[in-house]
Every structure is written in C-alpha cells, then in structure tokens.
Structure 1
Amino acid sequence: MLDLNNETNINFNHSILEKISLFLSQRDIELILTDNEGIKELNLTYRSKDNATDVLSFPFDDMGIIGGNLPLGSVVINIEMAKKISEELEHPLESEIALLFIHGSLHLLGYDHEKDNGEHRLKEKELMGLFNLPKSLIDRNECK
C-alpha cells in the first residue's frame, strides 16, 4: 500500500503509484512529495550533499523482525524538479513522478545502480514497459 504525504500544493492523479507499489511489494511504501529546499535539507542531513536532487530513498531497517506489516521504507520526490523535467521532456507530471517512484522504490528493495551490474537499470526498463512509461531515469542519465 502507498502512504502519500504531499507537502506541496501540486495535485495529480496518483493511481498509477498505487499500482506500482502493489506490484513491487506487499509492504507499505511511504511517498513524500517535497520541494527543492525540503529535499536539499534531507540530502545534506543524510548524505552530506548540499544540493537538491530529484529522489531519495530511506529503507526501513526491520532489525530482523519477522511478521507484521512493517513498511518497506520512504521515497522522497522533489516535485519542483519532477515538474521541470516533465515539461522539458514533454511528458505528463504523473509519468515523471512514477519514474522517480520506481527508481526510489527499487533502491528500497536493494537495487543500487552505482554498485550493481546493471540489474537496477534492467528492472527499471521492465517496469517502464509494464506501466507504459517514458525512458527510465538511469537511461536518461546514461545519455548525458
């Protein structure tokens, strides 16, 4: 299940995010939508990087607890950046948010494009096709 916390004034149809969340995990995923300043503060506090970014992931450490419905973790999306990118690439904001949500959720599931052998990228491509989304985040960054 998706637990949405929208700290912005931007409204959008988030039904695709519910579908993606259920497809990826039976555990709850918290989605926080924030702005440049909010994500910059989180990036500095938790990653010692003093800049805004598009998406951050914070996995929940279950400490070996078995049973119950412990959340998978939190995905934080910078809506200002998502809106700018969606306008530049001429696709709907919902699609950009879905791409970022998939990227962040895969991190919660243990995928790491900075360390793996392309598994994160391949899983993103698979999900882009399943949910009829535009080019993945990693694919776009590889083209730069």
Structure 2
Amino acid sequence: MIDFDNRTETEFSISRLETIATAISDAEIELILTTNDQIAEINRDFRGIDKATDVLSFPSDPFPGAPLGSIVISIDKVESVAHELGHSADDEMALLFIHGLLHLLGYDHEIDNGEMRNKESELIERFSLPKSLIVRTLEE
C-alpha cells in the first residue's frame, strides 16, 4: 500500500505505482511528490547536497508492521526528463519509483556489483518501461 502525499499542484494517479509496489513488497510505502525547490531543501538537510535531484529514499527502522520507508520524487524532474527523453511522465514516475523502492529494499548501485541494475532491468521489462535511471546514467 502506498501512502501518497502530493505536495504539488499536479494531479497524479498512483494506481500504476500501487501495482508495481504490490509486486515487489507487501510493506507500506510513503510516496511524497514534491517540487525541485522542496526536494533540493530535503537533499540539503538530509544529505548535505544543495541541489535538486529526481528521487530520494529514506528507509524506516525495521520493526514488525513498520512501513518500508519514504520515497520523495520531484514532479519537476519527472516532467523535464520525460519530455527530454520522449516518454510519458507516468513512465518516468514509475522508473523513479522503482529506483527508490529498490533503495528502500537495501539495494545500492553505488557499492553493489550490478545487483540493483539487474533487478531494475528485470522490473523495467516486467512493467514495459523505457530505460532505467541506472542504465541512462551509465550511458552518459
């Protein structure tokens, strides 16, 4: 189940994200949809990086019945990257959601040996999405 907190004026349906979340985990997930300004502030306050980013993940401390954690996504980044790459905002949101969810599940592309990229690729194929965040970044 997704606890959706839309802090923007953009209307967004999470039904596709609910399908993805249910296929990956049965834990509750908080999803915060925000703007570049707001995500830059969160990034600065929690990571010491003073700039906007597309997605942030904050795992919860595990205890029985605890939510998996929070995923924060910038709608501004979703819209600009979707436009730049020629796919829908729904597809971009799903890609970022999968990326954030894998981080909540303990995957870390910065230190693993490709496990997160492989899992992300598997999910992208399963849900018929365009290239993943990790794959796009590796191609740059």
TM-score when normalising by structure 1: 0.95
The partner residue of 2:107 within 106, 111, 123 is 111
Q: Percent identity?
A: 54
Partner of 2:52: 52
Which residue does 2:37 correspond to in 1? 37
Shift of 1:58: 0.2
Q: List alignment gaps of at least 5 residues for structure 1.
A: none
SS of corresponding position for 2:49:
coil
Structure-2 separation of matches of 1:12 and 1:29: 17
Shift of 1:12: 2.7
- In the alignment, structure 1 residue 74 sits paired with structure 2 residue 70: yes
- Name the SS for the 2:103 alignment partner: helix
> Cα deviations across residues 63-108 of structure 1 (Å, max 9, x unaligned)?
xx3x3x2100000001101100001111110100000000000000
2: CA distance, partners of 1:135 / 1:13: 22
Match of 2:127 in 1: 131
**TM-aligned CA deviation for residue 11 of structure 1:** 1.4
Are 1:140 and 2:107 counterparts? no
The aligned counterpart of 2:79 is 83
Number of corresponding residues = 140
Tell me by how many angstroms 1:110 deviates: 0.2
Q: What RMSD, in angstroms, separates the aligned Cα atoms of the two structures? A: 0.8
Residue 22 of structure 1 corresponds to: 22
CA contact (8 A) 1:99 1:133 kept: yes
Equivalent-residue separation in structure 2 for 1:125 and 1:133 (angstroms) = 9
- 1:87 alignment partner, SS class: helix
Is the 1:56–1:77 contact (alpha carbons within 8 Å) kept by the matching residues of 2?
yes
- Rounded Cα–Cα distance in structure 1 between residues aligned with 2:35 and 2:118: 29
